[in-house]
Amino acid sequence: MLRTDYGNLVRRVLPDAKITDFWSRIQHVEQMPRRLADAAAMELLELTGELIRRRSVTPDDAGCQELIAALLAESRFSTEALRFGDVRNLWARRGDAAPVVVFAGHTDVVPSGPPGEWLSDPFTATVADGRLVARGAADMKASVAAMTKACQRFAATHPEHPGSIAVLLTSDEEGPAVDGTARVMELLDRRGELFDYCVVGEPSSSERLGDTVRIGRRGSLSGLMTIKGELSHVAYPLRSENPIHALARFVKAMTAEPVDAGNAHFPPTTFQVVNVSCDAGAPNVVGADLNCRFNLRYNTEWTRDTLARHIESMLDALGVNYELQWRVAGEPFLTAAGRLTDAVVRAVREETGVDAELSTGGGTSDGRYIAPYGIEVVEIGPVNATIHKVNEEVLVADIAALERIYFRIAELLLLE
């Protein structure tokens, strides 16, 4: 992934801004006069760097939202800091009328891991070889900077725009996600302030910016299971079944064939065991209870309840003596083809020349808290190959392209 001459090319974007010449080599903004484009692109890059410099390891926002709120307030957004527990959220809206187009995202990042394994400080935006390397580069501070700048440019270009444009940010997407987007949505619902279209800036792209747009996500259901046994000497006939053998039968049954066949929009449901423990502490003892955790990423063929009942009846049929608690991390959702998907596909094609594939793959996102209100939700953001890894990166040119995509989406939804 990384070139051998990487180290020689490393230059820090901030606080000095000596990358203008670098930038001018990779900039392709035909619509604006060259110098204006350079200045706007530099501002966008600097904002990305400012966000990265704030060590907002989840659930800490570290001042990111204050910075964004100040910029949006300059563009006459009314901004509201919403704090629930340790979590900071920002709701900023410009306009009172419908329809409301919302750009959503998160300011928190996952921990950097060992800083020594990074090529440069993970909390300093470092540009090398056309890539910006830092924790949160792709997930998702570049997107947050791009949507902020797109909203500002939209307000400046169309000051009397119809409808409303808004930004929803949380600092609790990478963590438990309890006091973040879910709580803001409850509040907006109570106030009768729900919106129509939502563009989430999650890194959706696979190989090129815009090649993949997420229009839904699978649900995530975890089972925390205890299989009951009895502490026994390994050499004598057991009075109750060895719980490890019981687990083996369950896993075999679950993996013998696909859980379902999937459907037009979703792949088949998947089953994975993620943790098992059953250790009596000596080599001649069979443990009493086995604890395990498994996860199902499930499609719209199921609800959490129908899927849980399906698994329980399978365990019953296998004669497993179990106790089971369920944890749902998100129901599946799907945004049908319509105005929003049309606008996103068109904006991506106009700005990058790429034909976006509409997909429902990947992990969960905060879209799961927004879609249940009947809001059209899509996710469009940078290439996700390095997210949550050491040396997370985003192409510098993609940050500018993303700003243009977001700007164009807002135009297509509110002005056409």
Binding site for Zn ion (CB under 5 A): 139-140, 202
Residue 26 CB, nearest distance to Zn ion (Å)?
Answer: 25
Minimum CB distance to Zn ion smaller for 60 or for 202: 202
Select 51 or 128, whichever has its Cβ closest to Zn ion. 51
When the beta carbons of 109 and 151 are compared against Zn ion, the nearer one is 109
Q: Name the packing angle between helices 64-74 and 34-53 (round to 10°).
A: 150
44 vs 140 by CB, closer to Zn ion:
140
Q: Would you say 50 or 139 has its CB closer to Zn ion?
A: 139
Residue nearest to Zn ion (CB): 139
In angstroms, give the least distance from the CB of 94 to Zn ion.
Answer: 24
Question: Whole-number minimum distance, CB 329 to Zn ion, in Å?
Answer: 14
108 annotated active-site: yes
The neighbour count for residue 29, using CB atoms within 10 Å, is 17
Tokens 């051998």: give the residue. 4
Which candidate in 108, 174, 376, 403 is catalytic? Answer: 108
Q: Residue 194 Cβ, how far from Zn ion at the closest point, in Å?
A: 23
Q: How many whole angstroms separate alpha carbon 24 and alpha carbon 45? A: 13
Question: Any catalytic annotation for residue 350?
Answer: no
Q: Closer to Zn ion at the Cβ: 164 or 364?
A: 364
Q: How far is the CB of 360 from Zn ion (least distance, A)?
A: 17
Cβ at position 47, least distance to Zn ion in Å: 18
Catalytic residue, candidates 50, 60, 61, 173: 173
Enzyme catalytic residues: 108, 173
